[in-house]
Amino acid sequence: MTTVIKQEQAQVDKANASGRTPVVFIHGLWLLPSSWDRWARLFEGAGFAALTPGWPDDLDTVQEAKAHPEVFAKKSVGQVADHFDEVIRGLAKKPAVIGHSFGGLMTEILAGRGLSAVSVAISLRNPTNRRRAVPLTYDQFRYAFANAVDEDEAKHLYEKFAVPAPGKPLFQAAAANLNPWTEAKVDTKNPGRGPMLIVSGELDHTVPWAISNASYKREKRNEGVTEIVKIPDRGHALTIDGGWREVADTALGFVKRFV
């Protein structure tokens, strides 16, 4: 049974009809596909076909998501990765894949399956309740996402973007180094992985430089091009805050080198 919903299939069909190279954007926990809207317009303007599929059962708006947090519960890393796998396999051309936070982990997993022509993983990943949907309070969001912006922008980002997130993938990622069979493990040795850029925010509290750099060192073992860049003075909200364009241009420049 397919997990690809009507809106996602429409994006796939549109990308295939365009003949352009697709770019699949994958959001992380506590965000929705709409967090990529500005990025999608930028990449479309650069000649790509942008797709912003959601996680299974994502709701359409932040308001709906806050009202019904239960729909996010119990999603596993494997379920989410397999959903994006299905979306990508419907494309006529191998896409670029760009992901943020847990979407960065999905990007690594999908690249390890040989599904991306080029990939950009931004602020790769991060334990809480395993079964419930986990919302962030404003103070938690301020610390985890918006520590590098002022108070007014932090409040704006929280109201516009923050939604509950499933706790199960957090638990799985936390256990990834202990369990060699976990769904959160990444195949870093696949020769079909393609070029990969890892992006880290200098001030990121959720995914500090040490974590991004450790992922880089693992991915560097691959025979493909592997690069890492640290964006100065930026926190975990670097894809959605007022400085998003700097990060997007960095990702776009890398993608254009290879497709």
Range(s) of the domain holding residue 17: 6-258
Q: Which residue has the higher pLDDT, 74 or 237?
A: 237
Count up the domains in the chain and report the number. 1
Rounded Cα distance, 92 and 90, in Å: 7
CATH of the domain at 85: 3.40.50.1820
Residue 16 maps to a domain: yes
Closest CA to 205 of 122, 129, 142, 150: 142
Structure confidence by residue, pLDDT tens digits, 132-189: 555 678 888 788 788 989 999 989 888 888 766 654 444 444 444 434 445 567 899 9
Residue 131 has pLDDT above 90, yes or no: no
Residue 237 maps to a domain: yes
CB 49 within 8 Å of CB 183: no
Q: How confident is the model at residue 32 (pLDDT cuts 50, 70, 90)?
A: confident
Residue 90 maps to a domain: yes
Question: What element of type H or E holds 138?
Answer: helix 138-144
Residue 173 maps to a domain: yes
Q: What is the pLDDT of residue 165?
A: 63
Residue 205 maps to a domain: yes
Q: What is the pLDDT of residue 181?
A: 40
Structure confidence by residue, pLDDT tens digits, 40-56: 999 999 999 999 999 88
Residue 1 maps to a domain: no
Q: What is the mean pLDDT of residues 229-241?
A: 95
Q: Classify 45 as helix, strand or coil.
A: helix
Residue 248 maps to a domain: yes
**Other beta carbons within 10 Å of 115:** 25
**Other beta carbons within 10 Å of 5:** 15
Q: What is the pLDDT of residue 160?
A: 84
- In this prediction the pTM is 0.83
Q: Which residue has the higher pLDDT, 157 or 97?
A: 97
CB 42 within 8 Å of CB 252: yes
Q: What is the pLDDT of residue 162?
A: 76
* 96 Cβ neighbours under 8 A, 6+ residues apart: 21, 22, 23, 24, 48, 116, 117, 118, 119, 120, 255, 259
Residue 66 has pLDDT above 80, yes or no: no
Q: What is the pLDDT of residue 149?
A: 92
Q: What is the pLDDT of residue 30?
A: 79
Structure confidence by residue, pLDDT tens digits, 175-206: 444 344 455 678 999 999 999 999 999 999 88
Residue 192 maps to a domain: yes
Tokens, residue 224: 């493909």
